[in-house]
Structure formats: C-alpha cells, structure tokens
C-alpha cells in the first residue's frame, strides 16, 4: 500500500484522522450452502470503496488505543464467527491487543479512545456476526472495534487488518486496508507524523 501523505488533515489528541486510500475486500466465493460471506465496511450490493487511514500522535508503549466505526454484515442468513484478526504488514512493534464487535444501535459509534474496548461498551468477546447486509442500506450492521498498542518507544505502523472467520464450517478471510500509524511523541522523522505535529503548532 502506498504511503498516505497527500491531502492529510491532522488533529491531535483523540481525534482520528481519515484519509482517502483503498479498502480491499477479499472473500471466498461459494454457494448458499457454504454459509454467508462477511463484508467489512463494504456491501455486496455496491461497488463503493471506502478510504480509511488513521494517524495518532503522542502514542506511548503498552497503552491501549481503541478505534471503531467500521460496520460488518453478512450477505445472507446464517452466522460468520470471527476466529481471529491479524495485522497486515506490521512494523515498529505495533500490536492488536484486542478486538470485539457489537450490534449498532445499542451504543454510539466509537471513534477512538485511549481506553480498552471493554470500558467502551464492547463485550469481552464478541458473538457471531448475523446482521444481514441490506440493499436499501437500512441494516444497522455490526460495529467492529479494534484495540491497538505498541511495544516500543518508536513510531509503529500497520497497513491493514485481515479478519479470519468461519461460516457454515468453511474458513474464509476478509481484508480491510485500514492504515494505522502510532506516532511516537515528537517524531519529526516520519513524514505523516511530522506533518501532523507541524499542522498542530
């Protein structure tokens, strides 16, 4: 994935930064008997590509940084059970500390916070995703929450997340090109971090 520096508007603190990039959705094709497919920030009924990038300033090691607002749904009756979520091309000691999900409408959508997901209304372990994608957009869907952290003092980065799930006994994946950069305090050597810090002065 290319570096995301052009057209970036930066904000400090707990405000997430969203930038036009590319969301890559990869699903395994199959029949109805194979169970529903999981869609993340996309829909089987549209060709929309949502662009997301997040840059957070002054991130210190071992502290939770929770992000949310991404909607999941399935394309038919049944359930998609999320087995695990991996980071795509992690660097600099970035880790995914936890993930969870909840049905939309029960809570306000999460932007970001320096608190664990369990303190923000997410269950300790999410249940299966059963909300069906609606052609008219009326489906509430299921909100995915991701809790990031880093193990060292430097800036850390990941290009996306890969969701591994089971549907009707079949293992499948869906990828989201969610570019997350956790900037070390005062990092002026990483382009995205420098631009953010300079714009906040």
pTM (2 decimals)?
Answer: 0.80
Q: Lay out the sheet containing 156-158: strands in order across.
A: 53-56, 179-182, 156-158
* Contact (CB, 8 A) for 193 and 55: yes
Between strands 112-113 and 170-176, the pairing is unpaired
pLDDT computed for residue 7 by the predictor: 34
pLDDT computed for residue 25 by the predictor: 35
pLDDT computed for residue 153 by the predictor: 93
Instruction: Count the helix, strand and coil residues of the chain and give each as a percent rounded to the nearest 5.
Output: 10, 35, 55
Given a cut of 90, whether residue 103 has pLDDT beyond it is no
Q: Which of 27-41, 48-62, 85-99, 130-144 has the highest mean pLDDT?
A: 85-99
**Residue 81 token pair:** 């059970």
Per-residue CA distances from 78 to 25, 142, 169 (Å): 20, 14, 11
* Contact (CB, 8 A) for 97 and 65: no
């Amino acid at each position: 994935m290319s570096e995301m520096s052009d057209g970036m508007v930066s904000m400090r603190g707990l405000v997430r930064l969203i930038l036009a990039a590319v969301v890559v959705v990869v699903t395994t094709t199959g029949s109805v008997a194979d169970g529903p497919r999981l869609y993340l920030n996309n829909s089987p009924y549209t060709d929309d590509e949502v662009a997301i990038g997040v840059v957070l300033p002054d991130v210190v090691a071992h502290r939770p940084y929770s992000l949310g607002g991404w909607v999941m749904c399935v394309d038919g009756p049944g359930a998609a059970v999320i087995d695990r979520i991996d980071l795509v091309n992690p660097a600099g000691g970035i880790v995914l500390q936890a993930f969870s999900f909840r049905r939309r409408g029960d809570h306000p959508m999460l932007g970001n916070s320096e608190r664990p997901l369990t303190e923000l209304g997410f269950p300790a372990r999410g249940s299966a995703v059963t909300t069906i994608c609606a052609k008219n957009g009326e489906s509430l869907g299921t909100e995915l929450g991701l809790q990031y952290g880093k193990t060292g003092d430097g800036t850390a980065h990941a290009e996306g997340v890969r969701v591994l799930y089971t549907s009707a006994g079949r293992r499948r994946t869906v990828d989201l090109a969610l570019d997350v950069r956790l900037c070390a305090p005062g990092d002026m050597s990483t382009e995205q971090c420098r631009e953010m810090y300079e714009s906040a002065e």
